[in-house]
Amino acid sequence: MLNRLVFCRHGETESNVGGWLAGSRDVSLTERGRAQARAAAAALAAQGSPVVAIYSSPQRRARETANVIGAALGLPVAVVPGLEERRWGDLEGGAVPGDLLREEVPGGESLTAFQARVTAALSGLPIPADGRPPLIVAHAGTWHALCRWMGVDPDTLWPPNATPVMLTRGP
């Protein structure tokens, strides 16, 4: 089981700018989002070799961010099914709901099923032999599922776009 990892939410998207819920919709980064991904890559590169591998959600916004970072660090990006954002069903394309941690959503994925999906994906990742953490590039919802899996209380509902955060497994 991974005890340390670096998490990076994807760069800014049109859904972020417009305040609507993308969920399973495959949106791409804005120009600002691409600049944020380059800044995240530069920040990680300035630390030397802080990560050993890069794992990305299959969704375009995460893959675009991960590919920018991977190119800067000279690391390939492995796409990991299961790290996608929660499927919000009928709520996708509408305003972001006030309660993002509710159990059920109309026509969408339950919070329990989402957590199980992300947990299964994370549990299948290899443990790095050299002790350096992997980088996970995914989504705000994935951030919450990942924090629960790591036993860490997230200090924010929305992690900033394209800002790498080190997480260490809690007690």
Q: Which of 159, 141, 135, 158 is nearest to 67 (CA)?
A: 135
pLDDT tier at 75, thresholds 50, 70, 90: very high
User: Could you give the CA distance from residue 36 to residue 20 in angstroms, rounded to a whole number?
Assistant: 20
Binding-site annotation, residues for substrate:
9-16, 61
| Per-residue model confidence as pLDDT tens digits over 83-123 | 999 999 999 999 998 888 899 999 999 999 999 999 999 99
Annotated binding site: 9-16, 61
Q: Is the pLDDT of residue 144 over 80?
A: yes
Give this prediction's pTM: 0.96
Q: Which residues lie closer than 8 Å to 164 by C-beta, 6 or more apart?
A: 6, 7, 8, 40, 43, 44, 135
Residue with tokens 């991960």: 66
Q: What percent of the chain has pLDDT over 70?
A: 99
Q: Give the total number of structural domains in the chain.
A: 1
Q: Is 92 a catalytic residue?
A: no
pLDDT given at position 171: 74
**Residue 95 has which token pair?**
């305003």
- Which of 84, 85, 92, 109 is the catalytic position? 85
Residue numbers of the domain that contains 109: 4-168
* pLDDT score, position 81: 98
pLDDT score recorded for residue 3: 93
Q: What is the pLDDT of residue 100?
A: 86
> Above 80 in pLDDT, residue 158?
no
3-state secondary structure of 165: strand
pLDDT band (50, 70, 90) for residue 170: confident
For range 62-69, the mean pLDDT: 98
Alpha helix ranges (H) inside 30-110: 31-46, 60-73
Q: What is the CATH number of the domain that holds 108?
A: 3.40.50.1240
150 alpha-carbon distance from chain centroid: 14
